[in-house]
Amino acid sequence: MALQLNGGVWCLYQSRANWGKSIKHQQERFVIKAVASSEDYAAAAATATAKRQPISEEKVKLGASDVEVTRVGIGAWSWGDTTYWNNFEWDDRKLKAAKAAFDTSLDCGINFFDTAEVYGSRLAFGAINSETLLGRFIKERKRKDPDADVVVATKFAALPWRLGRQSVVNALKDSLYRLGLSSVDLYQLHWPGIWGNEGYIDGLGDAVEQGLVKAVGVSNYSEKRMRDAYQQLQKRGIPLASNQVNYSLIYRLPEENGVKAACDELGVTLIAYSPIAQGALTGKYTPENPPSGPRGRIYTSEYLRELQPLVNRIKEIGQKYNKTSTQVALNWLIAQENVVPIPGAKNGEQAAEFAGALGWRLSKEEVEELRSMAKQIRPITGFPVEKL
**72, 155, 150: which is closest to 359 by C-alpha?**
72
Which residues are CB-neighbours of 202 under 8 A, at least 6 positions away? 165, 168, 232
Catalytic option among 13, 84, 119, 247? 119
Q: What is the pLDDT of residues 198-243, one digit of tens each?
A: 999 999 999 999 999 999 999 999 999 999 999 999 999 999 999 9
Confidence tier at 388 by pLDDT (50, 70, 90): low
Q: Which of 98, 375, 335, 132 is nearest to 251 (CA)?
A: 375
74-86 as b/e, with b when 16 or more CB fall inside 10 Å?
A: bbbbbbbbbbbbb
Measured distance CA(105)–CA(102) in Å, rounded: 5
Mean pLDDT of the chain: 85
Q: What is the pLDDT of residue 15?
A: 38
**Full-model pTM:** 0.84
Q: Could you tell me whether strands 68-69 and 5-6 are parallel, antiparallel, or unpaired per DSSP bridges? A: unpaired
Q: Is the dihedral of CA 133, 15, 386, 165 positive or negative?
A: negative
- pLDDT (0 to 100) of residue 342: 99
Q: Does 7 have pLDDT greater than 60? A: no
The string of pLDDT tens digits covering residues 80-92 is: 877 765 555 677 8
147-179 pLDDT, tens digit each: 999 999 999 999 999 999 999 999 999 999 999
Of residues 335 and 89, the one with the higher pLDDT is 335
Percent of the chain past pLDDT 90, that is, above it, reads: 66
Instruction: Give me the amino acid identity at 88.
Output: F
Q: For position 124, what pLDDT does the model report?
A: 52
Could you tell me whether strands 240-246 and 269-273 are parallel, antiparallel, or unpaired per DSSP bridges?
A: parallel
pLDDT at site 278: 86
In a 10 Å sphere around its CB, with 0-12 CB exposed, 13-18 middle and 19+ buried, how is residue 355 labelled? buried
Amino acid residing at 163 = L
Q: Determine the straight-line distance between the first and last CA of the chain, rounded to whole angstroms.
A: 17
Q: Which domains does the chain have, with CATH numbers?
A: 15-277+337-363 (3.20.20.100)
pLDDT tens, residue by residue, 29-42:
333 333 333 333 33
DSSP string for residues in 37-65: -HHHHHHHHHHHHHH-PPPP---EESTTS
Q: Indicate if 119 belongs to the active site.
A: yes
Distance CA 170, CA 53 (A): 40
The yes-or-no verdict on residue 47 having pLDDT over 90 is no
